[in-house]
Amino acid sequence: MRLKPRNAKIGLLIFVFILAAAKIVLAGKAGEPVVKNFSVDKKNKAFSYVLTEPATVRLRVGSKSGPLYRTLINWQRQKKGRHTLKWDGMDISGAFNILDNKNFTFSFNYYLDGKENEAMGDYSGSDVIFSDNFIGRVPRLVHLGQNHKKHDKNHCGDLEAILRIPPDMEKTEEGLPKVKKVLPVTIDLPSEDKQWFSRERFSINIFIDDVFVAGEALGYIPYTWSFNPKGINKGRHLITVNMKGFNDHIAVGSLSVYVDREE
């Protein structure tokens, strides 16, 4: 029996642009666009774009209507000019090739320092070059990029969540924990991030192999979820957690396991 996606889509009022030959141009409301010649090269695992002026940018990769798998650029200040980012194509745990996922998507966001950005979109901080359709709480329609500009820089950005399981589990030759019965998975954050992220408030969204399986609207940490392998095919599976803050920060964690339940 295979997992079937639940009807867990949350309506997102966003600007969605269709990739044409994997190239997109983002136009502002007036004057020269801030982002030009945006392209995705899946073969060479690279993003490329031109900034016509300095900007602070964020680049996320994930699955349409599924989880955010990794933040590649985490509100980083970049100079005017061409930028190319090469990466390994993998999720945050290094266990899953996101580019091989048929539901692969990404979002690119930016804000400009020192002035209001007329081209700022109403979702996720800036004009969304492609779908930011990651499941979880949807922020209200506000200029989140301007909000990010005002955040404490030490407390603004996506985080890596911690997933803990019992240490004495039997493992495969690859080192994957074997799941034969209900497995408690504890979700947490590094100690230095717990206080500020908890103040922000967040939801918890849990996925198995791109499929939403459980959630908590008002999350807390540490949070323990029971992974029941019943009905899941024998073999390797990926557990991914998104802790989505109400101020547009996300903590991401993933864990590969091997389901070896008795039939």
112-138: pLDDT as tens digits: 876 554 443 322 323 333 333 343 333
Q: Is residue 219 part of a domain?
A: yes
CATH code, domain with 140: 2.60.40
pLDDT digits (tens, 9 = 90+) for 67-125: 999 999 988 999 999 999 999 999 988 888 888 888 888 888 888 876 554 443 322 32
Q: Are residues 150 and 34 in the same domain?
A: yes
Q: Are residues 182 and 248 in the same domain?
A: yes
DSSP 93: T
pLDDT of residue 130: 34
Q: Are residues 191 and 79 in the same domain?
A: no
114, 135, 154 — which closes off a domain?
154
Q: Is residue 95 part of a domain?
A: yes
154, 188, 221 — which closes off a domain?
154
Percentage of the chain beyond pLDDT 70 is 72
What is the SS3 string spanning 10-73?
Answer: CCCCCCCCCCECCEEEECCCCCCCCEEEEEEECCCCEEEEEECCCEEEEEEEEECCCCEEEEEE
Domain count, the chain: 2
Q: Are residues 122 and 196 in the same domain?
A: no
In angstroms, the CA 208 to CA 171 distance is 19
Q: Are residues 34 and 149 in the same domain?
A: yes
Q: Are residues 97 and 211 in the same domain?
A: no
Q: Are residues 71 and 121 in the same domain?
A: yes
Roughly how many angstroms between the first and final C-alpha of the chain, as a whole number? 12
Q: Are residues 169 and 225 in the same domain?
A: yes
* Per-residue confidence band for 140, with pLDDT thresholds at 50, 70 and 90: very low
Closest by Cα among 3, 18, 82, 77 to 46:
82
- pLDDT score of 181 more than 80: yes
Q: Residue 84, CB half-sphere, CA atoms under 13 Å: how many?
A: 6
Q: Is residue 4 part of a domain?
A: no
Q: Is residue 82 part of a domain?
A: yes
Domain housing 168: 158-259
Q: Are residues 146 and 30 in the same domain?
A: yes
Q: Are residues 27 and 147 in the same domain?
A: yes
pLDDT of residue 221: 93
123, 154, 185 — which closes off a domain?
154
Q: Are residues 204 and 231 in the same domain?
A: yes
Q: Is residue 170 part of a domain?
A: yes
In angstroms, the CA 210 to CA 206 distance is 9
Q: Are residues 167 and 115 in the same domain?
A: no
